Structure 1
């Protein structure tokens, strides 16, 4: 798909759109908008920005992802997965640095879509996804302990271990009222689905705990429950678009976190869309979805927003409430816009402990402890990737975790690929009944002529195969006149494999040994010709099957 083939799925869904579908989308959009409200506020505050930035992100990104995306039911907005990295970027580079990093991530996401990387990103190793998702969940929980219990801590360290040491040392400063609000909020969110699955427990918890905090303050003189208004000044005015001052030096410094935002956003959005596909029985367009995510992350920071992606919980809420098309996602953004204009000033009364309770439940949902436990029973290579990614996420940061996790996964993948390629030696005779590349007419057996050795490569021919050849050939004392290399089971050959093959041929020629290739498929043959390999050994020595290769070897032996 190139950029001109970019086709948002909304175009096809509107062709047969009717009043009945709109009614379903409208109802679902309103419910999803209400569900998204407390999450947008909580994610923004936990990320280190003011609460209205979370809602602005949900509005701007929500509209764009639904209007331009490749999924019928995807709902976009801020998510918990970004909390850790956003907070880290703000601490190091400030709000302007976050804006630039998000813009860069948007450009990367668009590039991912144009380069057809949508299908590839979905195959990032599962242990890495579980490792950093679980690590993010633990980190989010850790950041909320102070507000959940109302601890009096002036200077909060950023390091994970130091945070817990500080919590333990200062736990005696717990505020009973704030702790009660936080714990009751968690209980309401847990119990609410048993009463009604349509009404979001987080919204009910926020309403009840806000009213409770106001009553406690008004009639009992309880002033220790910190609210959003005590920490932030809240505005319901939409900011005008502003482009930050971007320098080359800033871009170089923010490449790593920007790539992390892009990869994380791509993984989460495509995972959400894939889960949705399984429920509604449809198929999303991965590359179109990535381009939409990229455009959303280009637009959101210009209006003061933060990174956005597809949100699994809100997407499932959309499906469960009857959302049929991307119109539901646009309605959800419109609902948030109305709430932003008319009710945003009331957000200043929401207790911080209540928002901490919301995020504690979110972190539990993210942790995936069951998946983590199951992966611990897998091969040691998967377990090592899982644990390294997990501990790097919580001890260092998500950027380091993803980079190191991907490097380890790639190394393990290359090792496994090398293990799948083996080289064997065929002695004396070849049984035609066990071979698929032999012309078996009037042939009972094939005898390998004296002075000829036959080697067979099973699997892709790349860096590992050349070493296997050297090790096997070193075990034979006598030098043959011809070496036949059977490649019927080689699906592809890369540049490293060609380089090793050329080295093998060069060394053999120095020893007076001719090389003949057998069973080379059309794709591999074309690759060899493009590299000039046929000029090294002669095109007549690249044979389509073993019969021809043996005849050619006999000719060479007779001529020597």
Structure 2
């Protein structure tokens, strides 16, 4: 549990930096929230209300100061079918349920399972997200898109120049904010016809109000929304926790994963009651926040509050912001997010690590689903790890001077990956009176290894040899006592089916 002093410092330890970075993030959230609403098939205000609500609430109850959460593409793509078949009210109910599921996962401390996500998967996740962020900007650079001209390209180039060159003059004001102000002023003064934020959709002009989703409170409704809610909850927490790891590394600080799970759940549950869609942490916006100087909870609170003020109170003015300015910022995020050293490391890192990273990237980019890509990466990591551990397994055998006793010394990890090598190491036809299987340098992990051990002992007994199993550590002995059958009555009769 965090102390009151530390919690206060997370709010007021970096006031100026958090306020400025929060302002930049708020402006960058607008087009994304609208775009994600369109993906989900709902009105733009659903995504904008969600981004406001989630950002503000997560500032209070989240576990990672400085991380930005809002409506995201990762969760939006999971809502399409539900909205199309059942409508907005069912989406709001699914959002509430997804939040409750996340709270439960946090209380069960499931955040600890993030330690099983390898560095290679993390790198692949980051690189894939950088590519997706860049790809999302391509429609705004496509000359076939109405309103996109060569002037758009010129303004994007000018925006990138400001972003990367302005910090050489001063870092007192975030360069992305300067880019938005200068390009907006320039397009208004020159009267240039370029796409603006207002072209993406109508902005809301009223504050959100509390409402209860208008759905039948029946088991049938629960079975309709439960699959969607579960998927949203899992994908949302996966992206949030991976983003949390990245922000931890960027800021060289630690944070509470389980509190973040609970915080995300509270934010989503409350958001469903004000007409917003579910969301999660946003790696792109979080990196914008950190690189713009945001470190504390005030940055997320500022981003959410300013977002609501802008779209409700200053919607007409916000609608004038040229899209090239926001495209330039997102390209900067894409370039900054991508792990460029990972390309050099392809030659020096173990081949298995490189394969995991590339497979994660390829899967995410192909499916546009971060959860599937991470799942593939984790699966490959597990397979490669099991294969590597299996290679470290070996069995040595010695024969007594009188030729009557054969001792097999097992070294390494005995599990499903090494069970076959274990079974192949014994000579069951050798005419010895006694066989000793010494596992003092080994560990027995699973039912596959226990079954292999059973089979070896029973085959030796079938050939008339006495078998002794020695050296088991406490954990291995507990597993063998519970699962093994070689000392049970009728064990030899069961050998063929064991």
2:28 to 39, 55, 59: 39
Residues 78 and 231 in structure 2, CA contact (< 8 A), matched pair in contact too: no
1:362: how far off?
1.5
Distance 1:256 1:533, change over 3 A: same
Is structure 2 residue 294 aligned with structure 1 residue 342? no
Is structure 2 residue 106 aligned with structure 1 residue 113? yes
In the alignment, the residues of structure 1 paired with residue 373 and residue 77 of structure 2 have an alpha-carbon distance, to the nearest angstrom, of 14
1:420-459 Cα shifts (integer Å, max 9, x gaps):
332222344xxxxxxxxxxxxxxxxxxx774222222222
Distance 1:102 1:512, change over 3 A: farther
In the alignment, the residues of structure 2 paired with residue 515 and residue 119 of structure 1 have an alpha-carbon distance, to the nearest angstrom, of 42
In the alignment, the residues of structure 2 paired with residue 26 and residue 52 of structure 1 have an alpha-carbon distance, to the nearest angstrom, of 29
Distance 1:397 1:33, change over 3 A: closer
Alignment correspondent of 2:139:
146
Q: Could you state the TM-score of these two structures normalised by the residue count of structure 2?
A: 0.81
Deviates more, 1:358-367 or 1:266-275: 266-275
1:480 to 432, 450, 462: 432
Is structure 2 residue 206 aligned with structure 1 residue 237? yes
Is structure 2 residue 210 aligned with structure 1 residue 210? no
Distance 1:62 1:229, change over 3 A: closer
Is structure 2 residue 360 aligned with structure 1 residue 355? no
Is structure 2 residue 236 aligned with structure 1 residue 261? yes
Distance 1:350 1:92, change over 3 A: farther
Secondary structure of the corresponding residue to residue 449 of structure 2: helix
1:112: how far off?
3.9
- List runs of 5+ in structure 1 lacking aligned partners: 1-6, 155-172, 429-447, 538-560
Distance 1:86 1:114, change over 3 A: closer
1:221-264 Cα shifts (integer Å, max 9, x gaps):
x43x1212233111142323453755524544675565333322
Residues 427 and 454 in structure 1, CA contact (< 8 A), matched pair in contact too: yes
Q: Could you state the TM-score of these two structures normalised by the residue count of structure 1?
A: 0.73
Residues 203 and 311 in structure 2, CA contact (< 8 A), matched pair in contact too: no
In the alignment, the residues of structure 2 paired with residue 471 and residue 490 of structure 1 have an alpha-carbon distance, to the nearest angstrom, of 17
Secondary structure of the corresponding residue to residue 308 of structure 1: strand
Is structure 2 residue 408 aligned with structure 1 residue 455? yes
Distance 1:23 1:392, change over 3 A: closer
Residues 29 and 307 in structure 2, CA contact (< 8 A), matched pair in contact too: no
In the alignment, the residues of structure 2 paired with residue 308 and residue 53 of structure 1 have an alpha-carbon distance, to the nearest angstrom, of 15
In the alignment, the residues of structure 2 paired with residue 477 and residue 137 of structure 1 have an alpha-carbon distance, to the nearest angstrom, of 60
Secondary structure of the corresponding residue to residue 464 of structure 1: coil
1:336: how far off?
4.5
1:147: how far off?
1.1
Q: Which residues of 2 match residues 217-232 of structure 1 at below 5 A?
A: 217=191, 222-223=192-193, 225-232=194-201
Higher relative contact order, structure no. (Cα contacts within 8 Å, ≥ 6 residues apart): 2
- List runs of 5+ in structure 2 lacking aligned partners: 216-220, 490-498
Alignment correspondent of 2:18:
29
Higher Cα Rg, which structure? 1
Alignment correspondent of 1:409:
381
In the alignment, the residues of structure 2 paired with residue 405 and residue 104 of structure 1 have an alpha-carbon distance, to the nearest angstrom, of 28
Q: CA RMSD in A?
A: 3.5
Deviates more, 1:309-318 or 1:366-375: 309-318
Alignment correspondent of 2:345:
374
Q: Spell out structure 1 runs of 4+ moving beyond 6 A.
A: none
Alignment correspondent of 2:496:
none
Is structure 2 residue 164 aligned with structure 1 residue 190? yes
Secondary structure of the corresponding residue to residue 413 of structure 2: coil
Q: Which residues of 2 match residues 286-435 of structure 1 at below 5 A?
A: 286-303=257-274, 304-309=276-281, 311=283, 312-313=286-287, 316=290, 320=293, 323=296, 326=297, 329-330=300-301, 333-398=304-369, 399-428=371-400
Alignment correspondent of 2:492:
none
In the alignment, the residues of structure 1 paired with residue 11 and residue 55 of structure 2 have an alpha-carbon distance, to the nearest angstrom, of 18
1:468 to 421, 435, 454: 421
Is structure 2 residue 61 aligned with structure 1 residue 68? yes
In the alignment, the residues of structure 2 paired with residue 490 and residue 459 of structure 1 have an alpha-carbon distance, to the nearest angstrom, of 5
Residues 36 and 47 in structure 2, CA contact (< 8 A), matched pair in contact too: no
Alignment correspondent of 1:272:
247
1:468: how far off?
1.8
1:321: how far off?
6.1
Distance 1:496 1:345, change over 3 A: farther
1:124: how far off?
0.7
Secondary structure of the corresponding residue to residue 490 of structure 1: strand
